[in-house]
A and B are shown apart, each in its own frame.
Chain A
Amino acid sequence: MGQRKPSAETITANQAAMMVSKAMIGTGILILPQSVSMAVNTPDGWLSVLLSGFVALLAGWIVGLLCRRFPGRGFYAYVGDIIGRPLGACVVVLVSVYYLFSAGYLLRVMGEVTRMYLLDKTPIMVTMVLFMLVANYLTVGGINPIARLIELFMPIIVCILMVLIVFSFRDFELDNVRPVLGEGLLPVFQGMPSSILSYSGFEVLLFLGGFMKMSRKAVPAVLAGIGLTTVLYTLIVLVTIGSLTVEEVKTVTWPTMSVAMNIELPDGFFERFESLFTVLWVLSMYTAYVLYQYGACLGAAQLYGKDFRVWAYVVMPIIFAIAVLPDNLNAVFALGEYNSYASLLMFGLLPVILLAVAAVRRIGNEQAT
């Protein structure tokens, strides 16, 4: 189990915040502007994303409270205490399966994007298998290497996103995001379901919480992580709509990549920004994927008691099978959507229920809550 050496296997609040943020910024950001624009149909998509960010903050706050209530123990360990062993086991299975699907979906999107923008003729299976192998190497290392790598990559990823946003402002036209609220608030609310979906991922704190050195910092960490993601998401959607127009965003497959392809510094000094972006984006996907795989392994280890490292190898073929399951790009997007709905159901409702039950049954650290 993961908590064999509690003294060594701890993470700081900073690391937790970065991991929360990193688990969210995986694939969503590549298609978010499109799905939101489709739902909103006016240039106000970025407002939906911003509002959804607040909803996510609320959900994250609840997850944070739950973590604080059970210091030093992971979600998988205490869920059984709260709602009883059999039910708890069901929840652990559900969450683990969800992480398997998330990892599979992410793997496939990584493969698709790489095939489209970088390696046209390389079979997609090969990129996927290689990616998995390298990711597995990190996963078996346990929480500390994962946390450190994310701590190292996170600034790079934020940087590359900021570069994307700043360079895109050359092409940004204010009129493209106007009129603001031209059709009232209704479209903004219509866009919220699809934008809330892109915020799934913060729930990694559920199992990260057990590793936190100071679990009272769980709430600030999750709020910081979600806050950072909200800002980045909002800016990306704003910039995408501002430089491509809503109508165009609705028609492109990977809107954020299209924005990256739009970028051109004067005199051809720097063309092909999207190559750099894709390469660095694989890093970003890598860190998110590792978190998902790790989450699935921890859950399985909790249920069956073996070392999570063994499970890391066991889940690889399952994840791969899920990744190759959709037979075309539309099926991939559909899988992503089901995934997000599942996450919304599980991590929107579950922590609330758990927290309520724990409070009623007086389980956990009462003072902390």
Chain B
Amino acid sequence: MSKPLKYGTVWLLLAAWLTMNAVLLSGCWDRNEIEETGIVLGIGLDMPSDGGDDEQRRPKISMTHQIALPTGFSEQGGGKTQKKYMNITSEGPIIFDNIRQLATRIDRPPSYEHVRVIVIGEQVARQMDLRNVINFFMRNTETRRSIRVVVAKGRSEPIFSQHKSGQTPAIELREMTENYHKTLRTPVQMTLGNLSEHLTGQHSFVLQRVMALREESQLSGAAVVKGATARMVGWLGELETAGLNCLLGIRRFNGVIEGVELESGAMLGYEVRRMKRHIVPIIEGDRISFEVRIKSEGKLREDWANPGDSFDQAFVERAEQATAARIRQLAERALEKTQKQYKVDVVGFGKRLSIDHPAVWRRVKDDWEDRFSRMPVKVKVEVRIQEFGTRGSKRR
């Protein structure tokens, strides 16, 4: 700091100072007042109801926005409960067009940073290339990759007006998608990011299915999407989904398997604690077949046998066998539907083959799903009941 500032420096500093003034005093470009934004919580995608196929224009898509209505603090403790959301349905040739239309209908510019769930209507899933449908959301920086995606049986619009508790349906639905580990009857939640990964990788996969009941919506079963066409090919029922979950061997499930004990024909309730599956590709010359080994550990939660003495190891073993048989039956049903009927590989047999036998995989990877649909798959199940709760028997 021995040297005095030069004139050039002074001029530059002055210029910089003036620029800063111009920039800083004019205010912030990206200011967003929270009271003035419409926070979008859920998005539904449908085919337009009036059936736009007669026109020679591009396929139209209809979009339902669920937007949060922040209630004023002064209204607290008032008599009747106010609705916390509003639904707006629009139609347009592409998604972005739908979104811009919103500006003509509500005063708040929509913000997509808090979207909880995207519900794809059945017709959209079946008829449109899902890669195109989600493209806008993947490009947009506001929509997070962790948004949950579900497929609605029928139209998606009614899902957004079902609520039991006065909660906003989109939020309720989001919470429900996270409950997958309590039951085997719905597949693992699908995030927008994962959906996109499956679609770009052209892997087939399943999504959670949501159904509008009379006053509530329910998650049950799964929608099967074929990766190659990026379109939905069909549904899986609850039991088929349970079978598929066993085949996928997802560790975090705590679902229940109802076995039937062979000796007495009594019902058993087995709670899965751990489920592991191992796929073994078997190559014999040109013939490829698979063996799936499912191993499960868990707890006997309920039995309807009499006396059902769990202190007797023979009974426990019978229960294990009964449960194993049930799991095998479920798994085979799931395979029957996905592999034989829909001709898709949602379990990841192809992936396993590519890991274990890359050379074989290179030979068969084109038209893999078609080939796979003719390959034999054997299911082996091993169940171990570790404990049976605080009561082992009804009478000794």
Measured CB to CB, the residues of A under 8 A from B are 116-123, 126, 129-130, 133, 171, 175, 178-179, 182-183, 244-248, 250-251, 258, 261-262, 264, 271-272, 310, 313
Contacts and interface: CB of A to CB of B under 8 A. Distances in A.
Given A123-B29, A248-B197, A272-B113, A264 B355 contact: no
Is the interface on chain B under 10, 10 to 19, 20 to 34, or 35 or more residues? 20 to 34
B193 interface: yes
Contact of B193 (A122, A129, A175, A262): A262
Contact of B29 (A121, A183, A261): A121
Nearest to B193: A262
A183 B365 CA distance: 13
B180 to A, nearest CB: 14
B18 interface: no
B260 to A, nearest CB: 35
Given A119-B29, A179-B356, A261-B144, 15 more contacts: A129-B19, A175-B348, A179-B355, A182-B355, A183-B358, A244-B193, A247-B200, A247-B201, A248-B196, A248-B201, A258-B145, A261-B145, A262-B146, A264-B144, A313-B12
Contact of B144 (A119, A120, A130, A271): A271
Contact of A262 (B113, B145, B202): B145
A121 B146 contact: no
Contacts of B28: 122
Contact of B197 (A116, A247, A313): A247
Contacts of B348: 175
Contacts, number: 75
B249 to A, nearest CB: 12
Q: Is the interface of B mostly helix, strand, loop or mixed?
A: helix
Contacts of B358: 179, 182-183
Nearest to B196: A248
8 contacts: A119-B29, A122-B30, A129-B19, A130-B23, A244-B193, A245-B200, A261-B141, A261-B144
B99 to A, nearest CB: 15
B144 A182 contact: no
B251 interface: no
A272 B348 CA distance: 31
B172 to A, nearest CB: 14
B9 interface: yes
B30 A119 contact: yes
A179 B354 contact: yes
Contacts of A250: 200
Q: Is the interface of A mostly helix, strand, loop or mixed?
A: helix
Contacts of B356: 179
Chain B CB within 10 Å, residue with most, of A175, A178, A179, A246: A179
A129 B20 CA distance: 10
Nearest to B144: A261
B282 interface: no
A264 B29 contact: no
Interface in B25-46: 28-30
Interface in B363-381: none
B293 interface: no
B77 interface: no
B228 to A, nearest CB: 13
Contacts of A261: 141, 144-146, 193
B274 interface: no
Contacts of A118: 30
B201 A245 contact: yes
A247 B19 CA distance: 45
Nearest to A140: B9
B351 interface: yes
B79 interface: no
A162 to B, nearest CB: 21
Contacts of B197: 244-245, 247-248
Contact of A116 (B20, B113, B141, B144): B141
B16 interface: yes
A248 B200 CA distance: 6
Contact of B141 (A117, A130, A179): A117
A187 to B, nearest CB: 12
Nearest to B9: A313
A305 to B, nearest CB: 16
A133 B361 CA distance: 56
Nearest to B139: A253
A175 B145 contact: no
Chain B CB within 10 Å, residue with most, of A117, A133, A248, A261: A248
B56 to A, nearest CB: 31
